Amino acid sequence: MEEDRSAKFSPSKLDVYKKCPRRYQYRYVDGIARRRKTPETTLGAAVHSAFEELYALVSGGKTPSLAEVTGHFDQAFDEGWDDAVHVKDNRFTKDDWRAVGRDCVERYYCVHAPFTEDRTVAVEKRVGFPLQVEDHEYRIEGFIDRLSLARDGGFEIHDYKTSKSLPSQEDVDADWQLALYELAVRREWPDAAEVRLKWHYVRHGKTLTSVRGAAAREKLRADAAALVARIKRDHAFEPKQGPLCDWCEYKDLCPLFAHPEKIAALAPAERRKDEGVRLVDALTEIEDKRRRVKDELKALDCEKDGLDERIAAWAQAAGVSVVAGVSAQASVNVKEDVHLPTKTQEPEKHAALEADARKSALWGEIARLDAHALTEGVRSRRWSGELLSAAEVLLERYGRRVTARTVRLRRRRGAEEE
Ligand code: SF4
């Protein structure tokens, strides 16, 4: 059973867990250090370095020229672009990426020069605050790209983004990272009246701003504490498949991708020698057979329903309830029944029925234990504190450990061609 032993959490670390607990486990629990260097990360690091230098000079009373700032960008870009950079799309060369980065720097410089709209308090500033989670105190820590004081006395937390996508205002209003930094800034300067969160999407020359109220800040603190508590309770770190899997540096370890990735790299003849491939191919054959038999069974069921109906009608007309054949006889039994709405077929009606039943004195007589909800709740650590302990006691007292296996087949695209 894996366990997270971290005492510190950064917003990006929390974000990794939210997106995929298994990726979190590889990086922060198992400590497998792998950072994939891509043209995007190299460009981002060089742009950040250029802005760090720019504001370090501005803070010292010197305004660098555009050529000096782009020169710094070029140098950082060349130093960062080495053999480890993983280029996925060969249509774009190193110089294309350099041009994108230079363009970001130039656009930002032209909009903000001579950089007197605010006063830089710090660049690449480490900030943090303690977070109480149940009986433990953890720390939230991270780095602010730039912290400044605006002319109206408000603090501004700046984040430079070089991504191609531009989020909506709604997206940034829901963002955690800078909002958590705000909690740290307010702790350092408790008299801060307003703190503005600013994202500079430098590829687009667009700045998005978000301001959080006291209630939103308290909710954020509670949400962060709940997430840390969830991480601490997690022992399974289930993989969560999503769009980020394409960029995941742990794909070769991930139980969802390790074998398919290995097999995809082999020639078709080699693939068939793999024991896993042979087993799944055998299962595919059986599944195909089962499907054919099921279809036949469905047709037979349909034929039988028609015959049942005709025999029942014949028996009624003849005034009998047993009809004889040569080798068997059929008993006909007709009775009225009541069908209640089910959760899957009529969910709204089912919910209304349950709500009414709960209100009635009958509930104790007809309600049943949901064993699945109980075991799933413990497995996923859905509850905390007393509820979780009570559920664990029930499982311990009445549960019997069994190993359940499920194997689900999903067709590989293009498999027929091999
Ligand atoms: S490949 Fe996807 S599911 Fe697997 S660890 Fe990475 S992000 Fe998670």
pLDDT tens per residue across span 187-205: 999 998 899 999 999 999 9
24 lines ligand 1 (CB under 6 A): no
Please state the rounded mean pLDDT for residues 287-310. 96
**CA separation for the pair 188, 157 (Å, rounded):** 13
Residue 198, exposed/middle/buried by CB under 10 A (0-12, 13-18, 19+)? Answer: buried
Please give the distance, rounded to the nearest whole angstrom, from the Cα atom of residue 244 to the centre of ligand 1.
7
**CA separation for the pair 47, 76 (Å, rounded):** 8
**CA separation for the pair 40, 102 (Å, rounded):** 13
Closest-CA residue to 125 (of 173, 188, 75): 188
Comparison of pLDDT for 410 and 138, the residue scoring more: 138
pLDDT tens per residue across span 230-284: 999 888 899 999 988 988 999 999 999 999 989 988 998 898 899 999 999 999 9
8 A C-beta contact, residue 138 and residue 127: no
**CA separation for the pair 294, 301 (Å, rounded):** 10
Please give the distance, rounded to the nearest whole angstrom, from the Cα atom of residue 250 to the centre of ligand 1.
7
The atom of ligand 1 lying closest to the CA of 245 is 2
256 lines ligand 1 (CB under 6 A): yes
27 lines ligand 1 (CB under 6 A): no
Please state the rounded mean pLDDT for residues 83-92. 88
Using the predicted structure, report yes or no on whether residue 160 has a pLDDT greater than 60.
Answer: yes
At 413, the pLDDT band (50, 70, 90 cuts) reads low
Using the predicted structure, report yes or no on whether residue 416 has a pLDDT greater than 60.
Answer: no
pLDDT tens per residue across span 110-142: 999 899 999 999 999 999 999 999 889 999 999
Please give the distance, rounded to the nearest whole angstrom, from the Cα atom of residue 27 to the centre of ligand 1.
11
8 A C-beta contact, residue 9 and residue 139: yes
Looking at residue 405, its pLDDT comes to 85
254 lines ligand 1 (CB under 6 A): yes
pLDDT tens per residue across span 367-409: 989 999 999 998 887 887 788 889 989 998 999 888 888 888 8
At 35, the pLDDT band (50, 70, 90 cuts) reads confident
Give the whole-number percent of the chain exceeding pLDDT 90.
Answer: 78
